[in-house]
Amino acid sequence: MAIINNIRLVIRERQQLFGGGRDRTSGLRESLRILLPIEWRRIVVRLMRQSGLSRLLVLMNEGLASRARQRLRANVADDDRAIVIRPELVLAEDLLARPTGLVRRARPAVICFSIIDWEFRFQRPQQLMRQFAAQGHRVFWIALSRYVRCGATPGFSLHPIEENLMELRLEAKADWEVHGRVLREDEVALALGSLEALCRAEGLDEAVGYVMIPAWAGVAREAQRRWGWQIAYDCMDEWENFPGIGPEVVAAERDLIGICDLLVVTAARLAEKWQDAGRPMVLARNATDYQFFADNCRPCPLPLRLPGSGGGEERRRVGYFGAIAEWFDIELMEMVATERPDCDFVLLGGVFDVEVERLRRFPNVVMPGQQPWERLPEWLFHFDVCLIPFRRNAITDATDPVKIYEYLSAGKPVVTTALPELMPYAELLYVAETPADFVNQLDRALHENDPVMAERRRELARNNTWSNRYATIAHGLASLRPQVSIIVITWQNLAMTRLCLESLLRNTALPCYQIIVVDNGSTDGTPDWLRSLAATNPHIKVILNDENLGFARANNQGISAATGEIIVLLNND
């Protein structure tokens, strides 16, 4: 009954505002209020009063009223993000007939200051950004080898990759060089100009700058100063003496860590290295997409004929996937292939700045090159044992290999050199201290027949997923912001309450907030709707009073229940 009365009142009010009443000038004012900024409205009304063109007032009012009604309907029906001060409650029945569902929450945008192009070897950067996108963040991945020409309008371009994830091409004169040096002053200015245009075009009020390599430090610092972005630096490797990383980049890392809001490290060694920097830090190791590997690790035709395949006794296959670079121990691999000629060694991955021609000539070694990440589970199924034949040095001592979690997703035995970051998992691995021990451990792994051990490995992988890592990073970012408690008092008028709360959830990009709704004994279905909303959204807390305790007392109830540092008292209208 209350809703019907509201509808009647609003219809009468609209008739008066849009020509049904005697006061045509007030109707004009209301139409202008919806359509024009306040400064323009004041000028128009003043000119009309001075001109005395009353007939023109009436004609303008009729036209403006029609356009205003269309605008209001579009705001309420077509664009849920729009906020209308006077929603048309004639739509209340349609609104209340909609299922409550889970409202899509707003999340801050993420600008990924990338270290590689998206289509390059699929690894930690892509996995993390995919997780941010899956959680509702709009993710903008800066392309390194593609850009827009200087002076182009609007100064950037967007190209969809996946849902909520776009490649962002900035204005530049050439490819972005982020490995050998830091960005020059003119490059920083171009990048900032493109990002400013992006903010205007996409309405980015709240954003996180996620930096993957210190070459972007100058842009990140200025974005933090200009727009208040949170800056997270993902320190994924020990960059000193890392192949291809220039001394400028290494020097810039300390500056970046000095200004970042959150330092994300992948290894305990990196946490120890930067513990005295005094920055908020989270340890977010590498991980696996467990479900993807579990679903796709199955028999399938391999894309090439392996040694020993086809006829005769099936040979044992020992596999590796990942980059074959300076940290890959070529000499160790040659020795193992020599000592075990009855095994086939399948080494998947691109070769970077190391000599492998002698290794290729071994009859029991196959090097198919870099494979699409999506095909790795198929290869993994056919491996009897997996390898991590890394050299020990400052780089690998601070390395938490992604491949270990992917190997364990299939429960496979893994033979590895004694990398410090893998020691927490040592009881599930075959750890070799010397080259000779590596061969011995390989023999042990090949003879393993322990389903319990295989399941323990899968369990470890299930507990180390990229979604877990996202949660760790997101919690770290959220902990940096003060919590906000928004208190809303309700009594009857369910349609208005629903518009208010759904709009709050849809538009609030703060990482840490709560909405406390105190209902003063409503009898129009509000309590049941509030319960259903709270059940599907962790941001909502509901206090239901049996009677109307009054506005002030209800606000005090909400304040008493609030846990935020900032309190907002918000009327639902």
In percent, the amount of the chain with pLDDT more than 90 equals 72
Burial of 133 (0-12, 13-18, 19+ CB in 10 A): buried
Tokens of 427: 């009881």
Indicate whether 8 pLDDT > 70.
Answer: no
**pLDDT confidence of residue 536:** 87
pLDDT tier for residue 372 given thresholds of 50, 70 and 90: very high
The tens digit of pLDDT for each residue in 62-116 reads 555 555 555 545 444 444 444 444 444 445 556 666 666 656 677 899 999 999 9
pLDDT at 188: 97
Q: Is the pLDDT of residue 246 over 80?
A: yes
Taking CA atoms, 125 is separated from 76, 133, 212, 233, 469, in Å, by 39, 12, 7, 12, 12
How far is the C-alpha of 30 from the C-alpha of 51, rounded, in Å?
Answer: 20
Instruction: Please state the rounded mean pLDDT for residues 110-128.
Output: 96
Of 293 and 9, the structure prediction assigns the larger pLDDT to 293
Residue 273: predicted pLDDT: 97
Most confidently predicted of 249-253, 479-483, 503-507: 249-253
- For residue 508, the model assigns a pLDDT of 86
Q: Which tokens go with 440?
A: 């011995």
Rg (CA), the chain: 31
Distance of CA 102 to CAs 130, 500, 525, Å?
A: 21, 15, 18
Q: What is the pLDDT of residue 569?
A: 97
- Separation of alpha carbons 385 and 387, rounded Å: 7
pLDDT band for position 447 (cuts 50, 70, 90): very high
Work out the number of other CB atoms within 10 angstroms of the CB of residue 368: 15
Q: How far apart are the first and last CA of the chain?
A: 19
pLDDT band at 342 (very low <50, low <70, confident <90, very high): very high
**How confident is the model over 402-436, as pLDDT tens digits?**
999 999 999 999 999 999 999 999 999 999 999 99
Q: Is 533 left (phi over 0), alpha (psi -120 to 50) or beta?
A: alpha
Of the candidate ranges 72-76, 439-443, 536-540, the one whose mean pLDDT is the lowest: 72-76
Global pTM reads: 0.78
Phi, psi of 338 (to 5 degrees): -70, -45
Q: Report how far residue 330's alpha carbon sits from residue 119's, in angstroms, rounded to the nearest whole number.
A: 27
Using the predicted structure, report yes or no on whether residue 393 has a pLDDT greater than 50.
yes
Q: Look at residue 410 and give its three-state secondary structure.
A: coil
Q: How is residue 354 written in tokens?
A: 């190391």
pLDDT of residue 20: 42
Residue that wins the pLDDT comparison between 300 and 317: 317
> Longest C-alpha distance within the chain, in Å?
103
CB neighbours (10 Å) of residue 341? 11
CA angle 264, 159, 502 (to 5 degrees): 70
pLDDT digits (tens, 9 = 90+) for 495-529: 899 989 988 988 888 878 999 999 999 999 999 99
Residues 314-326, mean pLDDT to the nearest whole number: 92
Is residue 3 very low, low, confident or very high in pLDDT (cuts 50, 70, 90)? very low
**pLDDT at 230 exceeding the cut of 60:** yes
Give the pLDDT confidence of 559-572 residue by residue, as tens digits. Answer: 999 999 999 999 99
What string of DSSP letters covers 151-216? T-SSSEEEEEEETTEEEEEEB-SS----SSSPPPHHHHHHHHHHHHHHHHHHT-SSEEEEESSGGG
pLDDT value at 44 more than 50 = yes
* Mean of per-residue pLDDT scores for the chain: 86
Confidence band (pLDDT; 50, 70, 90) for 180? very high
pLDDT bracket for residue 537 (50, 70, 90): confident
